[in-house]
Structure 1
Amino acid sequence: MLIVSGANGKLGRGVVEQLLKRIPAEQIGVSVRDVSQAQDLKERGVRVRHGDFAQAESLMNAFEGASQVLLVSTGILGSAGIRQHQTAIDTAKNSGAKRVLYTSHMGSSSTSYFPPMVHHAATEELLKESGMHHTSLRNGFYASSLVGLIGDAIKTGELIVPEDGPVAWTAHSDLTQATAVILTEKNWDGPSPNLTASEAIDMEGVAAMVSDIVGRPIYRKVVTDEAYRAYLTAQGFPEIRIAITLGLFHASRNGDFAQTSNALADLIGRPPLTLRDFLKESLAL
């Protein structure tokens, strides 16, 4: 049985939907914190069980009978998040699963300026230390994150951001399809190739795209990191989110998210969704 954690989230649910196109529902199980939100999956024949990364007992039940477990990152940073990932990995091993797959990131690095990348790198180390067969899915940077960075630029005509670098913005829909293929057809050990869209685009390019889509000028305004911090603070963003966002721009300036690969296209059998098409679909105009 293939077990997908976090199946009430965007990525986990998308993977389950893709698996349902490839294998019988009775071969799929999900681990979710709120089983009521996964009732529709249960009605379609998927095994739905409560599982919480902070509660090993619940995970043992959720992972019962697993051949492979997909661990979707909790997004909780720092020691608390790492402890939860350690619990999930240990429980997957104790349940008898033969392989663990983890939703990592193309920029995974213990020295990254972007805190989530340090978190991913630490989890990849836990997977190595577990002794289990494992695959770290080096996902491209989620394009959905870009919508928040664009913010009010469509209304104001100004995309206010610090100096940046190209990013391989990648759609969830493509990554979920690729993950389903990997779960059912591949036995990669260690980090996967970078699973990215075919192009890396900086914020100058994003502003030009948005301008074309909305039919009016959107200008990129480059500000210092300090000025951007003040800009976000004035909008009421909490300090932790400001620090993470500034870290994203610092890491992109280092080129951490600029590399692209054909691996995603090869897995899904078609070109990945372009950023332009993603923005056309995603921006509320």
Structure 2
Amino acid sequence: MIVVTGATGGLGGATVEHLLTRVPADRIAVSVRDPAKARHLADRGVRVRQGSYEEPAALRESFAGAEQVLVVSGNDPAADMVGLHRNAVEAAVGAGARRIVYTSQQGAVPGNPYLPSEFHIATEAILAASGTAWTALRNGAYGPLDQVLGHWRPTGEIVQPEDGPVPYTDRDDIAEATAALLAGDRAIDGPVTLAAPDAVTFDDLAKIASDLTGRTVRRVVVDDEQWVADQVANGIPEPTARLLLSWHQAGRAGYFAQTGPLLAELLGREPRSAADRLAAQVAA
């Protein structure tokens, strides 16, 4: 049986949907904080169990019978994410899971200035010491492009700090590939990059946006501290702005530049590119 955590969230929920196209529903279980929010899955034959990373005993029970557990990483900067992920790994090991698949982050290596890298690195170390087979999917950035590019459509400008090449990846592609890995016969050990094949910069995206819209979209580079001040002036808390700044700093240092063939191999097709995603947004 495959047990998926975070199944009422974006990535976990999409992964379950793709699993349902590959394996019978009774081979899938979900461990969720609020089972009522997963009623739509229970109605389709998925086993819905209550469990959260904050409750180790209940979490272990929710993993009962699992051959594989997908541990979807948390992202609350105010929480002890390493401790919570440790609870999930230990619960999976205690339940007898033969493999743990963890949703890590691209560039989860020492020195990466993007702050969440630290808890991904620590979690991967916990997995390595667990004694159980494990896979860490170092997912490429899969947030909405407008979240990254800012208000480029009304302004005609991408106004962000200095950046670097990033393989912006479609979340549903990652979910489909994760489901393919969980449901298939292929075993992958350790950390692997799961990202779109092309890494692009804001300059590249400005050109793509210009070609798509038929109007000039300019790339405007803003000083780091000025950018943080602008975010705070727009109502974003300063700690959040600095967290986002650390992502840009990591990008410009090349920590997110790596690409690879694995995503396409698992999908059996070419993943959606940033250009594809921008084109869909413009056409919508």
* Bin for the TM-score computed over the shorter chain: over 0.9
In the alignment, which residue of structure 2 is the partner of 1:60?
Answer: 60
Moved over 6 A (4+): none
Query: In the alignment, does 2:24 pair up with 1:28?
Result: no
Query: What residue is the counterpart of 1:9 in the other structure?
Result: 9
For 1:249, the equivalent position in structure 2 comes to 248
Q: Which runs of 5+ in 1 are unaligned?
A: none
Structure 2 equivalent of residue 222 of structure 1: 221
TM superposition shift of 1:166: 0.6
AA of the residue aligned to 1:32: V
- Equivalences for 1:42-53 in 2 at 5 Å? 42-53=42-53
Gaps in structure 2 of 5+ consecutive residues: none
Aligned-pair distance for 1:78? 6.6
Task: List per-residue Cα deviations over 1:158-187 (Å, max 9, x = no partner).
Answer: 211111101011111111111112112222
Q: Give the aligned partner of residue 113 of structure 1.
A: 113
Matching residue of 1:147: 146
CA contact (8 A) 2:33 2:52 kept: yes
Which residue does the alignment assign to 1:73? 73
What is residue 278 of structure 2 aligned with on the other side?
279
For 1:187-219, what per-residue CA distance to the aligned partner results, in whole angstroms no more than 9, with x for missing partners? Answer: 211112x21112111011112222233332221
Instruction: Tell me the CA shift for residue 283 of structure 1.
Output: 5.8
- How far apart are the structure 2 equivalents of 1:114 and 1:249? 8
After superposition, residues 194-213 of structure 1 pair within 5 angstroms as 194-213=193-212
Name the structure 2 match of 1:102.
102
1:110–1:122 Cα contact (<8 Å) kept:
no
- Distance in 2, matches of 1:156 and 1:284, equals 18
CA distance in 1 between partners of 2:149 and 2:163 (Å): 14
Query: SS state of the match for residue 130, structure 1?
Result: coil
1:79 deviates by 6.4
Q: Secondary structure at the match of 2:187?
A: coil
Aligned-partner Cα distance in 1 for 2:228–2:248: 12
Cα RMSD between the aligned structures?
Answer: 1.5
CA, structure 1 residues 82+49, in 2 after alignment: closer, same or farther (shift >3 Å)? same
* Structural mapping, 1:120-139, within 5 Å: 120-139=120-139
Distance in 1 (CA, whole Å) between partners of 2:130 and 2:259 is 30
> Equivalents in 1 of 2:46, 2:275: separation in Å?
35
Q: Corresponding residue for 1:179?
A: 178
Residue correspondences, number:
283
CA contact (8 A) 2:149 2:160 kept: no
Kept in 1, the 8 Å contact 2:98–2:133? The answer is yes
Within 5 Å, give how 1:153-168 maps onto structure 2: 153-168=152-167
Aligned-pair CA distance for 1:284: 8.7
